[in-house]
Amino acid sequence: MTTSPVTSGTHQAARAAGPPLTERQQERRRRILRTAAALACRGGFDAVQMREVAESSGVALGTLYRYFPSKIHLLVATMQDQLERLLEQLRRHPPAGDDPGTRVTEALMRAFHGLQREPQLAEAMVRALSFADRSVSAEVDQVCRLTTAIVLDAMGQDRPPSARQRAAVRVIEHTWQSALVTWLSGRSSIAEVRSDLETAARLLTLE
């Protein structure tokens, strides 16, 4: 066990152990993530091959594994990266809508369309996310926190959410996650995804 540059996103989010990355290291990390996303875009999960990621980002295989201890870690980090971007974007242009339910559905559907634009990338990230085992749970958790942030933002409520609302948010997130999986495996349509999100969002305005 050596210390390693495995820290999470480039953002202000919770950072854990390890010395801060040097400039060159951050650069390497970004390059790797960019390559992974590019490979995923054309070919999905299977096209992200560790040897090729390493080569294309000009890094030795061992180094790649020092940054991301598995292919799953790599793809989950990629998802984190994308979600952070999305969250920023949503903050710049928050969804309009009369009630929280509508806004939440809107925000998630916008996220959905973002993913739809690069379906192969989405496939790669989501499969990694749901295949992840305990060794990745910290990173997956981070992704969940980002989703929660998106939903809470969309609710756009001053007060902290009530217990009921927090419960509703959990179910909305479950629905989002699972709907994504079924959509990617071709078992449900965009329309169904929207309808499912709307149904779950009804829990927000309940009582």
Residues that bind its own copies (CB under 8 A): 45, 123, 127, 130-134, 136-137, 140-141, 144, 167-168, 170-171, 173-175, 177-179, 181-182, 185-187, 192, 195-196, 199-200, 202-203, 206
At closest approach, how far in Å is the CB of 65 from DNA? 5
Of 62 and 186, nearer to DNA (C-beta) is 62
Quote the least distance from Cβ 29 to its own copies, whole Å: 24
Nearest-CA neighbor of 27 among 55, 58, 4? Answer: 58
Residue 59 or 179: the one with the smaller Cβ distance to its own copies is 179
Total residues interacting with DNA, rule: CB under 7 A: 27
How many other β-carbons are positioned within 10 Å of the β-carbon of residue 91? Answer: 11
Cβ distance to its own copies smaller for residue 55 or 173: 173
In the block, which residue shows the tokens 């990355």? Answer: 21
Among the listed residues 16, 17, 24, 163, the single contact to DNA using CB under 7 A: 24
| Shortest distance, position 1 Cβ to DNA, whole Å | 10
Min dist CB 149 to DNA, Å, is: 28
**Residues of this chain that bind DNA (CB under 7 A):** 2-5, 19, 22, 24-25, 28, 46, 48-51, 58-63, 65-67, 69-72
